[in-house]
Structure formats: C-alpha cells, structure tokens
Amino acid sequence: MASSPAVAMVALLVIASVNLAGAYWPTTPSRVCPFNDLEAKISCLANTPDQCTSDAQCSGTRRCCKYGCSRRCVPTCSPCSTGQRCMVKETCVGPGCGPLSSQLVAACENLPAPHPCTFFTCPPGKSCADRGGPLECI
C-alpha cells in the first residue's frame, strides 16, 4: 500500500490539474464583442477616455470592448452563426426612453443584404442603377 505522503501528493496533483483545466479551458462558451456600429454614426472626440481596460472590470457576460469611441463594458453574444453579427440595441425599461430608463441588450442579427448593384459590373464611365426592374448601366 502507498504511503500517506505519496497519496497526499497524488491528490494535490489531481486537484491542481482540475483547477488549471478550468482556468485554461473554460466550460462556458466564449462571448463575442458587438459590432461597433456607433463609430460611423457619431463624431468621436480626439481623446475619448476608455471606461475599462480588461474584461475583469466588467460584470456578468459583459466584456471590455471598443464600442463607440472608447472601450467600455458592453453586453456580448455567444458566437453568431454564419451570416450574422453581434449587435447592441438600446431598449426601454421604464417610462419614456432616456439614459436613466434604458439598457443595452446584445443579440445576433442577420447581416444586411448587399445592394443589388454590389455585384453588377458596368462598362467604364457608367454606373449601376436599380429602378425596381432589371439592373441598368446608366
């Protein structure tokens, strides 16, 4: 039969390996940052300060992501399917909609369909026109 110190050492190694496995191979799926659609909608000031620097500063499923003009804790999505991206929407949770009565919610949404002229080639000097019928070069 093995001695007590040897059994204790094996037990410690098993506990350590389980703890390390949990640290390096998390059991919960990774979360993805939302598509940063705010940057195109607003004018960013030169030095907008970040509100966070790492995911550890965020609670729950939020992550420290570039959103708008700076990094901040935002809701995230599970990895989206092909043809989708993670988007953040503001939803009302109280009377009226405003900074004190709304919250951000993330969800996977279908990518917008490309404009029909995206893949239509016209000769030099002409451009594609979509007038509701067949595409034309004008």
Pick the closest to residue 129 from 56, 50, 120, 107 (CA basis): 120
Q: Does the pLDDT at position 15 exceed 50? A: no
Per-residue burial over 107-127, b if 16 or more Cβ lie within 10 Å, else e, is: ebeeeeeeeeeeeeeeeeeee
Q: Does the pLDDT at position 48 exceed 70? A: yes
Q: What pLDDT is stored for residue 105 in this prediction?
A: 86
Q: What pLDDT is stored for residue 100 in this prediction?
A: 54
The model's confidence at residue 26, banded by pLDDT at 50, 70 and 90, is: very low
Give per-residue pLDDT as tens, 75-119.
Answer: 999 999 999 999 988 777 666 665 555 678 899 999 888 888 888
Give per-residue pLDDT as tens, 55-69.
Answer: 999 988 899 998 888
Predicted model pTM: 0.55
Q: What pLDDT is stored for residue 17 in this prediction?
A: 38
CA distance 86 to 29: 15
Residue pair 61/75 in contact by the 8 Å Cβ criterion? yes
